[in-house]
Structure formats: structure tokens, C-alpha cells
Homo-oligomer: A and B are copies of this chain.
Amino acid sequence: MSSTAADHAQRRRAPHLGPERRRPQVLDAARAIAVTDGIGAVTIGAVATAMGVTRPVVYACFSDRVELVEALLDRESAHLLDAILAALHGSADPDDPERAFVDGFRALLNAAAAAPDTWRIVFSGEPDPAIAERFRAAKARVQTEATEWIRPAMERWWQTTDLERKLPVLIDLFLSACESAVRSLLDTSNDWGPDDLGTFVGRAVHRAFADA
């Protein structure tokens, strides 16, 4: 490979830090790789070379590839999930449904704008089936939370009929709209900001849900 020659010639030993202090560095390197090349490219070897270290050093920090990726996802998605749930819970104005939707989307998009790379990682998809399970768990969590937020809202505001049958469809539609809004926000080729995009999409989704 490209390493052997360079190694013997000029490469110096990495400084002694120990697994504890190196762990965050490993996660940083993994994060950088995941942002540019997707989670599928986060391999022990890739992380090691990215931080100028050999693979056993990475194994000293995380016993496993899945353990590494899970640690990465945990660290990255922790405040993400909090932001989503906060956006849901904090925007329950009982008298103005449109405002509730708009506020919720604004909160969501501001959270997305604050940590765009994290969102890119989470949305990039999960090639490894061992990791896919964790993704689905998080998604299911958001799904139930969103359901419990929307169900009483629709009962109170619009007296929607046949709600239990419609809810799964509406929830999927709602979450798809959330993902779409974040995608549009992170798309660098436009000039939308979190607040005006949140207002725009929030209003549209509100119209879709009213009288559903």
C-alpha cells in the first residue's frame, strides 16, 4: 500500500495518550469520514489512517466496529433527538394550530442548521445491518412521540374522523415533510434560512393536516 514505504522512511510514532484520551479523537475522525463518504466508509482502518495511527490503537478504544459506529451515532444523535422532541413538545399552542406547526418546524430547522454535519450522517443511510437496527429504533421512537403529539391535536382542532386509520399515514407524511425540510435547508444551492423555511413548510404542512 501507500503506507509501508512512507512508514519506514519518515513516519513518527504517535504520542502516548491512552485509550481514554484518544477515544474522542477516534470519534472525531470517524465523524469526518462519515460526513464525506458515508457511514459505510467508517472502517477501523480508515479511521486509523485518518488520525495517523495504526488499527490496533483504534481497537484499544473500541473493541468492535459496530461499537465504534454506535458510539459515534450515540454521541452525534443525542442532542439531535432532544432537539426533535423539544420541537414537538414545545410547540403545542392550544389555540393556534398553524402557529404550532410553524414554531415546530422552525425549532427543527434551527436545530438542523446548528449541526448540519450530524444530520448528514444520520440521513446518509445505514449499509450495515448491525447498525440498521439502531436507526430503526430511533426512528420508531420519534414516530411514537410524533403520533402522541399529533393525535390529540387533530382531535381538538379539527375533530378528524376515522383518526386511528388515518394517523399512520399522516405520521409518515409528517416525518417525510420534516426530512424534506431539513434536506432543503442543508442544500447549499438555495438561500433559505431556518426561520423562513420553517414558516413556509410549517404553513404548508398545517394546510395539509387541517381538515384531513
Q: Chain A residues in contact with chain B, CB under 8 A?
A: 38, 40, 125, 127, 129, 165-166, 168-170, 172-173, 175-177, 179-181, 183-184, 187, 189-192, 197, 200-201, 204-205, 207-212
Contact = CB atoms under 8 A, between A and B. Distances in A.
| A interface SS class | helix
A172 B184 contact: yes
Contacts of A168: 184, 187, 189-190
Contact of A180 (B165, B176, B190, B204): B176
Contact of A173 (B38, B40, B166, B204): B204
Given A165-B190, A184-B169, A207 B200 contact: no
A201 B180 contact: no
Shortest beta-carbon contacts, A-B, top 3: A127-B127, A208-B208, A176-B180
A20 B134 CA distance: 43
Nearest to A206: B208
A129 B40 CA distance: 10
